[in-house]
Amino acid sequence: MIMTLTIEEALRRASFCFKEAGLDNRRSEAELLMMHVLNCSRLDLVLSGQAILPEEKQEEFQGLVRRRRLGEPVAYLVRSKYFYGRPFRVNRSVLIPRPETELIIDASVEWAKGNQFVEGAGITALDLGTGSGCLAITLAAELPQASVYGVDVSRRALAVAAENAALLVSDNQPNWLEGTFSEALKSLEPAVRFNLVVANPPYLTKADMDQLSDSVKKYEPCLALYGGEDGLDAYRCILQELPLHLESPGAVLFEIGAGQAEAVRKLIVETAAFKSVTFKEDLGGWPRVAEALF
């Protein structure tokens, strides 16, 4: 027999259980799981705290709380994560969008405005390693006149990206290309050139991988995280091919890992294809996005 609980009581029990498991953001994570189970908004949740939680909902909620306690990320449990104000579908084939990656969108929109690409007209944008599609789709939505391409080597990731695009953008659907960076670029007509290139490639080093929390290491795709011994393999690979596919004036925006700024600057400068390299800082004050202009 299951005990009758109000929604508020169930939330408190879940927060307590998360506390015992040493998790952060306990209350907000419990609320996200409950909103998912009840298919309701946060406001509905606040208003209905004293209502009885139906038995089958209680079982479902407890099942999710158990999985969370064992380390599964909330975003995978509720199959959704907000990025730049839009809810993206996610599953274990794609990296969960991170708030710091939104800096790439800010920088892209700023660059587009600064170069008089009104609503993105005249921009052909490329997102390398698109995953959930969060960068490609947000660019397509924020710059509705831009033409956007998203590349991923994972067919499953591209299926998620295509699903997100169908849900989140009405008419400016990105073009999806399956393959490695170089296969995808080679598959394009020679006439297709890009003036905005973004990427949040895998950039964690071997040492970073060893230190990852279990909830990232056990659940998120290694393919989207591990960038080789020094974390820089993806940048090397992208920069080798990319200069042939650019049309100036343009910008390349890469997310980078902690302490990688100087090494990434060096790789960019070595191509001799760019006019300048600068870095945008995240909220913690760390260089997080490399911006190379050409």
Sequence letter at residue 25: N
Of the pair 78, 224, the CB lying nearest ligand GLN is at 224
Q: How many Cα neighbours within 13 Å face the side chain of 239?
A: 22
The reply on whether position 225 binds ligand GLN by CB under 6 A is yes
Torsion of CA 32, 34, 37, 39, to 10 degrees: -70
Which DSSP letter does residue 270 get?
H
Q: How many Cα neighbours within 13 Å face the side chain of 55?
A: 3
Find the binder of ligand GLN among 105, 134, 204, 238 (CB under 6 A): 204
Of the pair 57, 98, the CB lying nearest ligand GLN is at 98
Q: Which stretch binds ligand GLN (CB under 6 A): 12-20, 86-94, 166-174, 200-208?
A: 200-208
Q: Are 105 and 138 in contact (CB under 8 A)?
A: yes
Of the pair 216, 237, the CB lying nearest ligand GLN is at 216
The reply on whether position 76 binds ligand GLN by CB under 6 A is no
What is the footprint of ligand GLN within residues 226-265 (CB under 6 A)? 255
Residue 174: asked if its preceding bond is cis (omega within 30°), the reply is no
Q: Which stretch binds ligand GLN (CB under 6 A): 36-44, 161-169, 176-184, 198-206?
A: 198-206
Q: How far is the CB of 220 from ligand GLN (least distance, A)?
A: 7
Q: Are 242 and 274 in contact (CB under 8 A)?
A: no
The reply on whether position 75 binds ligand GLN by CB under 6 A is no
Of the pair 189, 210, the CB lying nearest ligand GLN is at 210
Going by C-beta distance under 8 Å and a sequence separation of 6 or more, which residues neighbour residue 200? 95, 101, 104, 129, 131, 135, 254, 255
Of the pair 35, 216, the CB lying nearest ligand GLN is at 216
**Footprint on this chain of ligand GLN (rule: CB under 6 A):** 98, 200-204, 216, 225, 255
